[in-house]
């Protein structure tokens, strides 16, 4: 495999991105040296990948994903076609962010970035191709009347935490975990994908600019919903809890809100309205209202009825209101629920 440097020369300074501590990254212009570094066989991408088929349009980010065949190697790949902005703006910051982070990530539970190609005023990220995402996997399992087994739910939850341990140990937040961003291979292994909203973070954590689009609504942590400007790995772990419950409930979302306030109330109706006792500082969050209805918590066993005691205990740890008390991915891997797995974290 040709190195990324040979395919593309982009002035990406990863340490500088880390130092910006989740601040918006200004779009960078491609170097004029790019074209001379692209091998001639790549210049006509429409010919090289002429059998391409659109897989998905990527909303709110920066491109379209295609299934394609590399005619040089006969390999099936996934192409993320980057929509370049006006000439004076260059590559979108979300693309720069994903490229810079994925260059650092090499793990069995994270989709592999194979190459980066720039030609004909287009930028392509070339990824390994996986057959389907978790959302479609659950839908097809239900359609065939063979929903995910408890063992497979456990395996996917374990692999999801393995991928997050790798990311979090490298100070990377995914920030948009949802079934559509988790890919499944032919051997039923799960991999994290779509790092377009991911950010590098530093220690100690700083105050971050609040972004409403961080994490798709159904999987969004309460601290983000309530306007916290200081969030950490707990936002990913809340999403894991929601996905874990959804797998166990045969694809039924745990908190399917249709607006931010509806999302907040759906969480409150199950977990109870948070207060200073269970979540110190919650009343100081900008979007918390003392006039919120006061709901009492329900036992999770009455909501997610298919999980055993250890499984419910792990779910409760993932859906803890106080982010400081929410279980980490590393600790989740040694939870009794996974006692029949050997941790490699």
Q: Judge whether 333 and 343 are in contact, CB under 8 Å.
A: yes
Query: Active-site residue among 133, 176, 194, 236?
Result: 176
72 part of the active site: no
Could you give the residue numbers annotated as active site?
Answer: 176
């Amino acid at each position: 495999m040709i190195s990324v440097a040979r395919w593309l020369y982009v002035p990406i300074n990863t340490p500088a991105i880390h130092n910006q501590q989740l601040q918006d990254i200004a779009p960078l212009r491609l170097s004029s040296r790019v074209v001379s570094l692209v091998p001639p066989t790549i210049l006509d991408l429409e010919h090289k990948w002429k059998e391409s088929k659109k897989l998905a349009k990527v909303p709110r980010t920066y491109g379209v994903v295609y299934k394609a065949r590399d005619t040089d190697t006969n390999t099936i790949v996934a192409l993320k076609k980057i929509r370049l902005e006006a000439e004076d703006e260059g590559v979108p910051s979300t693309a720069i962010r994903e490229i810079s982070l994925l260059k650092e990530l090499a793990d069995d539970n994270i989709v592999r970035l194979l190459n980066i190609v720039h030609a004909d005023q287009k930028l392509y990220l070339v990824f390994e191709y996986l057959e389907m995402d978790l959302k479609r996997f659950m839908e097809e399992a239900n359609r065939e009347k063979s929903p995910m087994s408890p063992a497979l739910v456990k395996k996917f939850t374990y692999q999801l935490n393995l991928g997050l341990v790798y990311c979090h140990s490298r100070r990377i937040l995914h920030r948009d975990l949802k079934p559509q961003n988790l890919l499944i291979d032919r051997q039923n292994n799960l991999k994290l994908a779509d790092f377009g909203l991911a950010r590098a973070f530093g220690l100690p954590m700083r105050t971050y600019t609040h972004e409403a689009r961080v994490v798709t609504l159904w999987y969004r942590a309460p601290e983000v919903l309530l306007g916290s400007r200081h969030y950490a790995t707990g936002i990913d772990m809340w999403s894991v809890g929601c996905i874990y419950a959804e797998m166990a409930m045969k694809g039924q979302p745990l908190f399917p809100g249709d607006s931010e306030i509806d999302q907040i109330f759906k969480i409150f109706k199950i977990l109870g309205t948070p207060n200073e006792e269970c979540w110190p500082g919650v009343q100081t969050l900008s979007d918390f209202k003392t006039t919120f209805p006061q709901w009492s918590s329900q036992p999770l066993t009455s909501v997610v009825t298919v999980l055993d005691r250890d499984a419910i205990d792990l779910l409760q740890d993932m859906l803890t209101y106080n982010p400081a008390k929410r279980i980490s991915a590393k600790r989740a891997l040694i939870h009794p629920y996974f006692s029949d797995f050997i941790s490699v974290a």
